[in-house]
Amino acid sequence: MEKKTNQFKAEIAEMLDLVVNSLYSKKEIFLRELVSNASDAIDRAKFLGLTDKSLLADNPEWKIQISVNKAEKTLMVSDNGIGMDAEELERNLGTIASSGTKKFREMLKEKGGDSLPELIGQFGVGFYAAFMVADKVTVETLKRGTAASFKWESDMSGSYTVSDGDRDFPGTSITLHLRDDQLEYLDYWRVEELVRKYSDFIAYPVLFKQLDPPKDEKEDDRKSREERESKPLNTMVALWKRAKKDVRQEEYDEFYKHLTHDWEAPLETIPFSGEGAVEFKALLFLPKKVTMDLFMPQQKRGLSLYVRNVFIGDDIEMLLPGYLRFVKGVVDSSDLPLNVSREMLQDDAVIRKIKDAVANKVLSALEEMKKKDAKRYDGFWASFGTLLKEGVHTDWERADRIKKLLKYPTARGEDGKTVFLEDYVKDMPSSQKDIYYICAERESDARRSPQLEAARKHGCDVLLWCDPVDDYLTESLREFDGKKFVDVAKGEVKFGSEDEQKAEKDANDKAAADLKPFLDAVKKELEASVSDVRVSTRLTDSPCCLVAQEHAMPPSMVRMMRAMHQEVAEEKRILEINATHPLIAKIRGLEGDALKDAVEVLYDAALVAEGSPVADGAKFAKLVANLLMKG
């Protein structure tokens, strides 16, 4: 058979039905698309008018008019832009996915245009969104520089008509004959809501007019309506497009409140531009306080996305790393890859570059705040420090930068005061080689922990990790400034100089040999609960404490996971005894039930000291009471 080349065939009516009913997820999108097309038409007129002054002979006052007629159930979107002739009308509206805006840009590029206007349309399908709410659409248009107007009309049956029109001034009007179930779009408040949501920053005023006000309208109502209709529905103030020096902080604050519905001004405002391979504008804000929705698991969090001032979506998570989900703001770019309906971002290298730029800019702002305004940074840390910590675990590329922004309370510090890791390292005694920390559910429990005693004795401070996320960081936060992180409640921890460590080891070995029968007896009594009993090098004041194996899960994490009904394997810990404590000297002489009761009290006391619950509180209280009575 001879090889042939054929053209694809399409059933136009079915394709149009697919575009209308399957492309967009929300019917309200139609107004965004029509207003965007109107804005493009004005942009084209202004651009062409730069070289052909005759196109602007009427000295137009650029605007977009939305007019409704409730009696006739029509909504009209009109502009005074470039307009179309008969050929363009057929080509742009009679051919699905034929974009006049796209062809205009291509024509300018062929002519060597260096500075192209920011036009919105690109796919040539936005106009057809009108059929989601209308059963008939009429377009009347008059191209600037010509005298003849034309009318295009279709009821989505698969055909359309083109005829002479009645329009007597340049531009285009699109009239939607709304279906009975879509009459909500004739209401001023609904139209205002959609314009503010999707087209608030379109550069031209979007006005509303009711063509058939009630005949019995009262005078006050008429004045109120006319005053309302004299004002644009949109603010037209895209602050991210303006140079920072030209914007007052009060304007940024008002924009932030408008964007987020927060009643307070932001803690920090971060305007910036991305240039080079990917060009975009961004205006970011750091809130002062956490909002409740930030910790709701199903709540989306991200930045608002605009493409050439047109709203695409809010809470776009792809533009923001998860650990920076507290950041609010907008990103506007003409380079972003959108799907045909412009409702969804497509993940690619452009998105990743913007995401990286946003993350780097936010971290730079925090670094600057840390350096210049410690009090403001402390306010930020109190609200969002927990989230920022996640970056150490999830953002390996910037983990070292994030580590320098972390703050923790310390055993020697005052309640409520936190220190940066670099400040902790500066204050370390010369004999200290590692960074010490301890995990606990509450700061008060951590401060009282007996495992801190040897560190205090040797002049070493200990970081108090009391945030639930801190437990998870133990796998990621392994070193800082070349120093390892060491949990003072795990394994065998050594403090002091080598000579001090040797002296303590010799004393420990001697005490262990002297107490061996007692240690063996205690281990036998507690064999169901502990893996070993040994003499401690970390205790100075307390009689005993519990320590975990070097790589074991912290007890605070175990309790948290069990509270979430997660199965956690039972892992026995080590009971360490303070060989020099008077209580140990007294207990070691006991035998039988007296020794058994004393050992049980000793173990439960170690649990209480670290903030863990005892297995049988009533029994523990009874044993303590008996011992007190005997004492």
Q: Tell me the mean pLDDT per 10 residues along the chain, length 631.
A: 47 57 75 91 91 91 96 97 90 61 49 48 65 93 94 84 92 96 96 93 94 92 94 89 90 90 93 83 93 65 80 79 92 67 57 90 97 95 94 93 96 92 94 91 89 91 91 85 91 83 87 92 92 90 88 66 68 90 89 89 89 86 82 59
Q: In 158-303, which residue ranges form alpha helices assigned H by DSSP?
A: 188-198, 219-229, 249-260
Residue 78, phi then psi, degrees to nearest 5? -125, 145
- Give the other-Cβ count within 10 Å of 251's Cβ: 14
> What is the residue extent of each domain of the chain?
12-229, 239-379, 498-554+562-630
Task: Give the model's pLDDT for residue 11.
Answer: 47
| CATH class for the domain made up of 239-379 | alpha beta
∠ Cα 78 258 120 (to 5°) = 40
Quick one: which H or E segment has residue 22?
helix 12-22
Task: Give the model's pLDDT for residue 500.
Answer: 84
Task: Give the model's pLDDT for residue 550.
Answer: 75
> Per-residue b/e over 277-311, b at no fewer than 16 CB within 10 Å?
ebebbbbbbbbbeebeeeeeeeeebbbbbbbbbbb
Task: Give the model's pLDDT for residue 10.
Answer: 46
Task: Give the model's pLDDT for residue 157.
Answer: 75
Task: Give the model's pLDDT for residue 296.
Answer: 64
Gyration radius of the chain's alpha carbons: 36
Supply the DSSP string of 348-399, one letter for each residue.
SHHHHHHHHHHHHHHHHHHHHHHHH-HHHHHHHHHHHHHHHHHHHHH-GGGH
**Helices 592-610 and 516-525: crossing angle, nearest 10°?**
80
The fold of the 12-229 domain, in CATH, is Heat Shock Protein 90 (3.30.565)
- Give the C-alpha separation, 71 to 486, whole Å: 77
Supply the DSSP string of 251-288, one letter for each residue.
HHHHHHHHHH--SSPPSEEEEEEE-SSS-EEEEEEE-S
- Which residues have a Cβ under 8 Å from the Cβ of 451 and sit 6 or more positions away? 438, 488, 489, 538, 545, 547, 610
Selecting from 1.20.1250.20, 3.40.50.300, 1.20.200.10, 1.20.120.790, what CATH number does the domain 498-554+562-630 have? 1.20.120.790
